[in-house]
Amino acid sequence: MPLITNQSDFHFSGHETFTLRHLWLKKVCDAANKNFILDKHIFSDDFSISRFGVGKNMVSSIKHWALACGVIDEDENKSHFKLSELGKLIFLENGLDPYVENISTAWLMHWQLSGLRPISKNNKHRSSTWFLLFNSYILPEFSIKDIVEHIKQHVQSFGKTIAEKSIKNDVETCIKGYSPRSLSHTTEDISEPLLAELDLIKFNQTGKYFFVRGQKPNLLNGIFDYALLDYWSMTTKSEKTLSLNDITFGIGSPGRVFKLNEDSVAERLYDIAERTNGIFTWSSSSGVQQIVLTKNINSLFDLKIERLRAAFL
């Protein structure tokens, strides 16, 4: 499966170099009206600073993260924003985790930024560095410079040119979100990034970063299954099976994005029939390990939401 290939798909700005912080997505949802609509001026009018309780550049960053995480979508005529179903489900007062107290929310937002998920036609992928870092860089350790060069080469391979400074700012912001102590100098930057608690990227004594691979005990099966069903819908529309290899190593797969090894992915798939009411089953025969869609259903959306809810029970 190709990575990001079109110039319009590349996006290396919008966050104003601020990482995603714990309550920012909640603040966006709180700003919606009773019809779940957000007028665009709320991010730019004279009251935007007091409305969100942050500086002007941070307001722009909040809007960026809400769009990048799929918490809000732009209306078809681009006149306003509206809360997505996911945003309503998680962050409204009666939602699953309105105050972002459950680590499953952090895992979910990581998936939204880095995984292979549906993107609405009016909203482009806004986290190119996140997707490329977690899905296409395979060496065991790396520096900021390594990732910048890796992304530059990917962009250039499609005849595109993006300013190196823009890519570098994006890479630093991305890594600071997961490993804040390595790049941040303020208490606020170190304590507030939502994704840092996932412990996915660490900084070693040689001055390099590395992915923390293997089992993730605090990644609940509900989030894994939600991501798996996203991945299935994007890759296996006309097929009835999806291999363990693809789920572990495929571009945009749960295995790659969550940095799970093959054994830990397989362990999560063994009892998938029980978790999906028999819609999917695990099969291991003739040396082929895979999950199988065993029931004809019109849409996987309801099952996906059911599995997501399970992560917050």
Q: Are residues 160 and 299 in the same domain?
A: no
Q: Are residues 166 and 237 in the same domain?
A: no
Bridge partners of residue 285, in order along the sequence = 288
Q: Which residues of the chain have pLDDT under 50?
A: 1-2, 5, 7-8
pLDDT tens digits, residue range 239-257? 899 999 999 999 999 999 9
Q: Residue 38: in which H helix or E strand, if any?
A: strand 37-39
Give pLDDT, residue 1. Answer: 40
Query: 216 in a domain, yes or no?
Result: no
Give pLDDT, residue 101. Answer: 96
Give pLDDT, residue 77. Answer: 78
Q: Residue 304: in which H helix or E strand, if any?
A: helix 301-310
Q: Residue 301 sits in which domain range?
A: 221-310
Measured CA to CA in angstroms, residue 76 lies from 118, 123, 199 at distances of: 16, 9, 37
Query: 2 in a domain, yes or no?
Result: no
Q: Are residues 249 and 190 in the same domain?
A: no
pTM reported for the whole predicted model: 0.94
Q: Are residues 139 and 59 in the same domain?
A: yes
Q: Are residues 144 and 290 in the same domain?
A: no
Q: Are residues 252 and 131 in the same domain?
A: no
Give pLDDT, residue 181. Answer: 77
> Cα separation of 68 and 113, whole Å?
6
Residue from 93, 95, 69, 98 nearest 81 by CA: 69
DSSP 147-189: HHHHHHHHHHTTT----HHHHHHHHHHHHHHH-HHHH--SHHH
Q: Are residues 163 and 260 in the same domain?
A: no
Q: Are residues 150 and 253 in the same domain?
A: no
Domain count, the chain: 2
Query: 117 in a domain, yes or no?
Result: yes
Residue from 132, 197, 138, 140 nearest 171 by CA: 132
| 3-state SS, residue 72 | strand
